[in-house]
Amino acid sequence: MVIPLVPGGVPGLGARNLPTENPDGEEQNGMKMPPPDPNIIAKRRELVERLRAIVPGEGVIVDEAELRAYECDALTAYRALPLVVVLPSTTHQVSEVLKTCKEMGVKVVPRGAGTSLSGGALPLEDGVLLGMGKFNRILEVDYDNRCVVTQPGVTNLGISTRVADRGFYYAPDPSSQIACTIGGNIAENSGGVHCLKYGLTTNNVLGVEMVLMDGTVVRLGGKHLDQGGYDLMGIVTGSEGLLGVVTEVTVRILKKPATARAVLIGFPSNEQAGDCVAAIIAAGIIPGGMEMMDRPAIHAAEDFLHAGYPLDVEALMIVELDGPAAEVDHLIDRVVAIANDHGAVSARASTSEEERLLFWAGRKAAFPAVGRISPDYLCMDGTIPRKALPLVLSRMQELSERHGLRVANVFHAGDGNLHPLILYDANKPGELEAAERFGADILTLCVDVGGVLTGEHGVGVEKRDLMTHQFSKTDLDQQQRLKCAFDPDGLLNPGKVFPELHRCAELGRLHVSGGKLPFPDIPRF
């Protein structure tokens, strides 16, 4: 199903109007993108010419059928055809492209592999889509400094694969790792099942080269551990393509743990599972991975993969311990004991690598498994303080009934990152909208119990309008001022992350008055 962000599509682009299911042309979802600027669209020919002068040959795409390949990322409910796609292959080209776009007032959306689940790489109809796919080379493997210097279009797994023969790997491991790029990982600050112990992307990046919207190239960090100056890399990581285009990345690599074993633990209630997680951490154990699934997710996964999951439990946990064999064996015993103390009805420790992988197979296939029991699903991504888990799960059940849609939960239990999968059928009128409303209710619930809207997938367009639930206007204004420091014209990936766009001049204005001290109650000496 395709939903036009702007009814009627863009004039002047031939037969490219997106089908609309709503005859009166009204938008069907709440998420609006900035309206396309006809003046920009009118300059398309000039833009294309100028881009071709920078990126010759097939690097500039204008043909509608080819543009189609870029119309959405993994949040497929939102689509738009970009005005032009450009595929540069050098930092210099990126710089020239951005400079040209800035000169012409054209918006730019960077894109890696397009696996974003929040619509971060959703194109704009009056914008250039800047594909980083040609930046696909690993530039240097430096074992002595335990780092890899790479172009941003290399896949996450590509880095680990490259250093595997020497027993190294790149730690953050999003489930999409065969496809997603390291540039996209930086933009989203992506995580994975091992990030409680090994950190998110931000904790594993040493340096970036990045091009600002005015074409300036800056380098942050390097092979040394601390950047110096402001931690701009910390801001760029997780900035969802709004601050600059990353053209080179230095990541640290780690030696693979000597061994890994997993325990599969079943509980008769979510409360007991939640308590068990807390008890494991209170015992000083930080497992390599600690995942949880609720009943619907367990059943979907087991039906799909026959991993041997118990079906008579309400919650299933996979706790993986990794490290030296002596440590892993020692901790497995402790984890099993803790689980039994907390009412586990089954606790099986893997005794072989095959068995460990089988335990994981079901969890890793949870999304496709759910995809089998429902035509469509929305994957949510809130984080909560873990103690709120039982409350959140029971409220989610109520919400499920109210919205008339089923939900299955997989959960990075160690760090409180929930992935509720909302099941819906896009072909049934109104179901996507209901699913989105259900999703919004879940995320605001996460915030209300002290958590956040997104733990690893990013805000994008998906959660953009919920930002005001987590942040005050002052909080958001300050973040937007930061954006202004990088991109004063707001041309880089607009319409994402921030629910309202303000002009930088307006945001920068400062109202000072008087000059006397009207605050007599502040102690001073």
Partner 1 sequence: MGITTFKPATPEQLADAVRWALDAGEPLELTGTGSKRGLGRPVQTAYALDLSDLSGVVAYEPEELVLTVKAATPMAEIEPLLRGRGQHLAFEPPDLGGLYGQAPGGGTLGGVLAAALAGPRRLSAGSARDHFLGVAGVSGRAEVYKGGAKVVKNVTGYDVPKLMAGSFGTLTAMTEVTVKVLPAPEDTRTLLLHGRSDAEGIRALTDALHSPHEVSGAAHLPESVAERIPAVASARASVTAIRLEGFGPSVAARLAGLTADLGGIDGVLDRDESLAFWRAVRDVAPFRASNPDTDPLVWKLSVPPASGARVAEELALALGDVEFFFDWGGGLIWLATPRETDAAALRGTLAPFGGHATLVRAPEALRTAADVFQPQPAPLLALTQRVKTSFDPRGVLNPGRLFAGV
Ligand X SMILES: Cc1cc2nc3c(=O)[nH]c(=O)nc-3n(C[C@H](O)[C@H](O)[C@H](O)COP(=O)(O)OP(=O)(O)OC[C@H]3O[C@@H](n4cnc5c(N)ncnc54)[C@H](O)[C@@H]3O)c2cc1C
- Scanning residues 236 to 295, which ones bind ligand X (CB under 6 A)? 240-241, 245-246
Say if residues 298 and 313 touch (Cβ distance below 8 Å): yes
Count of residues that bind ligand X according to CB under 6 A: 36
161 burial via Cβ count (<10 Å: 0-12, 13-18, 19+): middle
Interface pick for ligand X out of 60, 180, 220, 466 (rule CB under 6 A)? 180
CB of 16 to partner 1, least distance (A): 34
69 binding partner 1? (CB under 8 A): no
Stretch that binds partner 1, among 97-105, 265-273, 311-319, 505-513 (CB under 8 A): 505-513
**Which of partner 1, ligand X, none does residue 237 bind (CB under 5 to 8 Å by kind)?**
partner 1
Interface pick for ligand X out of 457, 463, 464, 483 (rule CB under 6 A)? 457
Q: Which two tokens stand for residue 427?
A: 């072909």
Stretch that binds partner 1, among 108-116, 190-198, 299-307, 346-354 (CB under 8 A): 190-198
Phi, psi of 96 (to 5 degrees): -65, -40
**Which of ligand X, partner 1, none does residue 127 bind (CB under 5 to 8 Å by kind)?**
none
Contact characters 105-134, ligand X, x per CB under 6 A:
----xxxxxxxxx--xx----------x--
Interacting positions 247-276 with partner 1 (CB under 8 A): 255-258
**Residue 311 to residues 257, 307, 308, Cα–Cα distance (Å):** 32, 11, 9
99 binding partner 1? (CB under 8 A): no
User: Would you say how long the chain is, in residues?
Assistant: 525
383 binding ligand X? (CB under 6 A): no
Decide whether 305 or 321 has the Cβ nearer to partner 1: 321
Sign (positive or negative) of CA dihedral 88, 93, 98, 100? negative
222 burial via Cβ count (<10 Å: 0-12, 13-18, 19+): middle
Stretch that binds partner 1, among 132-140, 150-158, 221-229, 336-344 (CB under 8 A): 221-229
CB of 495 to partner 1, least distance (A): 15
Interface pick for partner 1 out of 219, 306, 372, 402 (rule CB under 8 A)? 219
367 binding ligand X? (CB under 6 A): yes
Cα dihedral angle (160, 163, 164, 165), rounded to 10 degrees? Answer: 170
**Which of ligand X, partner 1, none does residue 121 bind (CB under 5 to 8 Å by kind)?**
ligand X
Interacting positions 294-323 with partner 1 (CB under 8 A): 323
Task: Kindly provide the residue ranges of all beta strands, DSSP E only, lying in 396-509, ordered along the sequence.
Answer: 407-412, 417-424
Say if residues 382 and 418 touch (Cβ distance below 8 Å): yes
Geometric angle at alpha carbon 523, from 517 and 525, rounded to 5°: 90
Say if residues 364 and 300 touch (Cβ distance below 8 Å): no
Decide whether 51 or 121 has the Cβ nearer to ligand X: 121
Say if residues 322 and 328 touch (Cβ distance below 8 Å): yes
Of 418, 494, 470, the C-alpha closest to 120 is 494
Interface pick for partner 1 out of 15, 65, 505, 517 (rule CB under 8 A)? 517
Phi, psi of 412 (to 5 degrees): -80, 90
**Residue 27 to residues 99, 266, 433, Cα–Cα distance (Å):** 34, 45, 11
Decide whether 255 or 428 has the Cβ nearer to partner 1: 255
**Which of partner 1, ligand X, none does residue 71 bind (CB under 5 to 8 Å by kind)?**
none
CB of 247 to ligand X, least distance (A): 7
User: At residue 114, what is the residue type?
Assistant: G
494 binding partner 1? (CB under 8 A): no
Count of beta carbons in the 10 Å neighbourhood of residue 446: 29
**Which of partner 1, ligand X, none does residue 105 bind (CB under 5 to 8 Å by kind)?**
none
Can you give the binding site for ligand X, defined by CB under 6 A? 73-74, 109-117, 120-121, 132, 152, 174-176, 180-181, 183-185, 187-188, 190-192, 240-241, 245-246, 367, 456-457, 493
